[in-house]
Amino acid sequence: FENTRLVLDATEVRIQRPSSLSAQRQTFSPYKHYNTYKALIGCTPDGYVAFVSRLWGGSVSDKTILEGSGLLDVLEEGDGIMVDKGFTFPYLPSGLTVYRPPFRERHEKQMPPQAVEETRRIASARVHVERAIARVKSFHILDKAFPITMIDIADQVFEVCCLLTNFRLPLIADTE
């Protein structure tokens, strides 16, 4: 996956339950079953955070976040991005390569061996974005429900936490 520029994943940060019913609906995550903000994070293949979207309500789809993030507009021809199985794209810029684990077809009892190997290779590369997200969430301000009283600065707090992870020891040891 030598042309991979970013490994993408969405993550959710728990927030305190808003008092407004409308805000509760917008932030309720059907996946987590509580109120969250959701963001798209892009890591370089060696585990550094290189892209952070703004925070969205937990009910918003990954596709909507990707569309609204502007990320697809800044990627260049020849770039590759790696995503998980659930990621769909509203459109793909010309010349962009997407690496996504293959799906098992409905008529197949099991995936062909080459598809299993491709899934394994992509999963082993994607583990770095998951480890980077775990580092982000290790900041004390994000390890519990984010306070409603600080919601107006949630985007900035989240982005700073993401970028501060780049100053920690590398996720991948230097082999030189």
Residue 160 domain-assigned (yes or no): yes
Average pLDDT over residues 129-136: 92
Neighbouring CB atoms inside 10 A of 86's CB total: 11
Identify whether the C-beta of residue 18 lies closer than 8 Å to the C-beta of residue 35.
Answer: yes
Q: Binning pLDDT at 50, 70 and 90, where does residue 171 land?
A: low
For 106, the domain range is 4-167
Average pLDDT over residues 83-98: 82
Residue 125 domain-assigned (yes or no): yes
Residue 46 domain-assigned (yes or no): yes
pTM of the model: 0.86
pLDDT at position 14 is: 97
Q: Using one digit for the tens of pLDDT, what is the confidence trace for 151-164?
A: 999 999 999 999 99
CATH number at residue 142: 3.30.420
Q: Binning pLDDT at 50, 70 and 90, where does residue 108 land?
A: confident
Joined tokens for residue 170: 């590398």
Most confidently modeled of 48-57, 59-68, 75-84, 87-96? 48-57
Where are the extended beta strands (E) located within the chain? 4-14, 28-29, 34-43, 49-52, 56-57, 80-82, 97-99
Calculate what percentage of the chain has a pLDDT beyond 90.
Answer: 59
Residue 103 domain-assigned (yes or no): yes
Q: Number of structural domains, the chain?
A: 1
pLDDT at position 115 is: 79
Residue 175 domain-assigned (yes or no): no
Residue 117 domain-assigned (yes or no): yes
Residue 173 domain-assigned (yes or no): no
